[in-house]
Structure 1
Amino acid sequence: MDSHRLAPRLLASWQRSRHYGLSPEEMRPVFTGSVDTASLFYECGDEVLRGLRDTLADEAVSMMIADSDGLVLHRVCDDASISRSLDRVHLAPGFSFAERDVGTNGLGLALADRAPSLVRADEHYCAGLRGYTCAAAPVLDPRTGALAGTVNLTTWSASSSELLLALAQAAAGNTAALMLARGTGRRVPPAPRGEVFRVYADRYHQHDHAHQRLSPGWTDAVATARTASARGRVVAAVGEPGAGKTALVSTARRQTGARERLLSARPPAPGDVAAWLALWAPELGKDNTCVVVSGVDRLPAWAATDLARLFDGARRATGEGPGCLPPFAVTAQRYSAIPDVLSPLIDTVVEVPALRFRPDDILPLARHFARRHRGPTVTFTPAAARALTSYDWPENVRQLRRVVREAASRTDVIDTRHLPAEVFTRSGSHLTRLQLLERDEIVRCLTEPGTTVARAAAALGMGRATIYRKMARYGIQVPDRRGGTGG
């Protein structure tokens, strides 16, 4: 097919395929030999595909799910001829169909652009796939918003594809809904629409906790970013969601002595990327302005290409050399997840430690968030302090800020009873809504002033053995007033 006749998204994918060094005549998908069948995504995707198979029982359609890296996890198909044909091109569990492995295809494009994708016949980059039409839709984890994987429907290229993409989108939506129902039962609130970026003035009031004495893990990371910025290097801060990557970059920039604005551009929904770029891109390269683009690993591939072009132009305009501060920085969960077009522009990678590896930072940060929310009058009881410092904080600083603000909204003296049940829970299993209600009620009773397990059991109408069993099941640990664990 003449690449000039391709739609813009497909043309960009073909260009990336050439950049990866792939041959249109030869396809070699990577084989891992094993797939993760224990994940919530696999469990829910499998159930949705089995239900869809009943709907498409007489159709020559192969249905599959793949993880966020493009690895095919599961395939469902009742048509023997298309199954044998897909086996010959290795579109089967254990093989990777990411764009970088096999070029433009529906599954890989849906993951690269984080958007529903339809690739017909000769729109595929590799000739071996041009006998098929593939429709795929990404599945987002409803609890975290992270890319969980994709649902892919493949049929013969001569077959009608009008409804194929709609079916893939419906299956992806059903998978996400089932993950929500079988997960914690609570959806992470989406970011407010319209909050595209945040502006920090040169005083950085938002990050004044940086003046406190924090752990070596944090201060060493800040020092690395500060040194790199002072030498005119572009910094990528990597780490878990909510660990404080943007805060670290802004703190480091402030410590260089530069008086500047800091624009923190947050990743938008895939459909809003064009407007997102147009809104803040004019600020890039302005005097005394630094742009931090958060979550570049979550950008559609075409947007990363446009962003790299903008960054490269701004860097050339700013110039090179000691003391020449670059006009941008980026954040991502892992360096390996940063798009290939952006990684050559990055000079220094700084890993931001997760909060569970910085237990000495928990109380200083908690006091900072309480002070910012209510003022210096808010304090923590010793039991509340022990509960906060003994928790793992899987959502990192973002979760700590939410917990402290909610508690500080209720009282000036934060005790264990003002903290949510999640802080006292160590179980990693997924709970139903009913189990969450039961767990929260047990924690509420156990954190009442002067309570004992026996009193909590009586209040709940349970025997002591039953409440101990449920505490073990939910991983509940409530520090007592003497510094131990309630029992």
Structure 2
Amino acid sequence: MREVSMSSRLAWEAFQHGDEPPDLREEILTSWRRSRLSGVSPLAQDFERIEIDIESRFARVAIPLMTEMAELLADSETCLAMANGAAHVLWRWAPDSRLRHQLDLAGLLVGHSFNEELIGTNAVGTSLEVGRTAAVRSEEHYREAFHRFNCVATPVVDPITHRILGTINLTWSPNYQESAVAPLVQKMAREVQTALKDAAGARERRLLDAFLDARARSAHPVVALNSELIIGNHLAPVPNFRHEVLWGRVLDTVDGPDLTIEVAPGWSATVRAIFDGKSLLGALLVFDTPQHETPVPTVSAGPPHGATASAHARVRETVGRVVRDGGAVVLRGEPGVGKKHVVVDALGAGAEVLDASDIAADGPEAWLGMLRRSLNRTTPLVVTHLDSLDQRTARAVASILSAAAEPPRLGATVTVGRGEQPAWLLSIVDALGATVIDLGPLRNRQDEIQPLADTFAGDVPLAPETREVLQRYTWPGNVAELRQAVRTAVVSSDGTVVNPAHLPDSVRLETWTNRHLSLIERAEAEVITRVLTRANGNKTVAARELGVSRPTLYAKIRAYRISVPTTHVEVG
């Protein structure tokens, strides 16, 4: 058991160093890649926290049932938890005081977000990301703070809308032997789904019947909703609607004479209220067919991603022009520059997204099958991470695209900067007849850092000193790293003013390279240099002697501009 743990630890350290460990489970490696692309810091310990809604339909039904089922684990050293569809913890049960204290310190608390995009690989966030059961063992977690735990989580699917409502998660210490965990968690999820189906009364069933009837009659986007449910057909981009905003507009319409609402410029819907006597059960929205150049709406607050960024805007304009003219586009750039956001903006938020990096987990045949089915639909398609395809699969993709009856409305992304681009990717570009557009890294778009930081900070002001640190940093993780750093700082500031101390250590350490080191910093740099020399450049040995983690040592080497002896060559 210890050998497995040590192997996982070395794999984790190798990945943070920029290597890709060969013996790691593919689903974990794929999640680590997503975490790195999102700019997640492996050493961070902060969380996004919200006031959770325990009056939601999911919480009202599931929490009492989970409390009852938890009694089956009363004598075990485990923690049972439940999160909503946004990965915020709704409920937690941990009878063992020692484990409960460890989880408190690690951050598994009600209201905290375990979204994979924010804290990296973890059972809750990863199961929601992939839509199936996820098991994450100790050092397979992206954040070091969770390396002392094993976790399994399974999504809970709404039996009415078939949307994922949240997850059931079981956590335990690696020292505690627990067998058949995944089947147990899956059984709990099925119990909750059964309870949700039983709790769905005549109101929900009538709303569903009305939706199915309208869907059969209309070729337009159709949405049915009430205060607790929202259901849409494949043409309706339901995930982009803020449920409470849309329901509020429906209520305003029902109370007045106007039976049409405008969701966004160019997008309007006819509203038909559904009553049970004088009681409002819900409403049907049948959207008018939008103009071709009108993007699929997002009903939400705040400006879109990168709305104030001039270079980004120019690239978006070019991509949009190519797409409007009926062409396909391949957007190329470093990890985290925002390629996916730009392509989705151009094709519309209703576009289906296929991630080519998922092929390792799904298998080539299953993934290619999803590609064929997507091309048979009328919705636009975005294929991300084309660079992760091997030669054989890339040729199969090119063949499928060439055989398509109609030229697909398709955008794709290619990540560059990690070695040369495989030559066989050109076969896909040729099959599409695609226009290739490069999106430059954030370090070459200095004028965008401040507007983007303001966008990510929302209503929380940034101190002038903080803006100076953000402007000096080189942003190797690009826009994704900036977004994560600012969001982390906002949470740390408790919503007041963001000062430099609130920024992640990695950002503050890196900016030290642009100024003279203090006396204490020079002394620390000399100690690190001596230890590295004594260890013949072996950073693992040096980090152990210094009492720090390898990622921390790497950050200090960069910050202090230390030349590492090359006598020793580290592998992995």
Q: TM-score, normalised by structure 1?
A: 0.47
Q: TM-score, normalised by structure 2?
A: 0.40
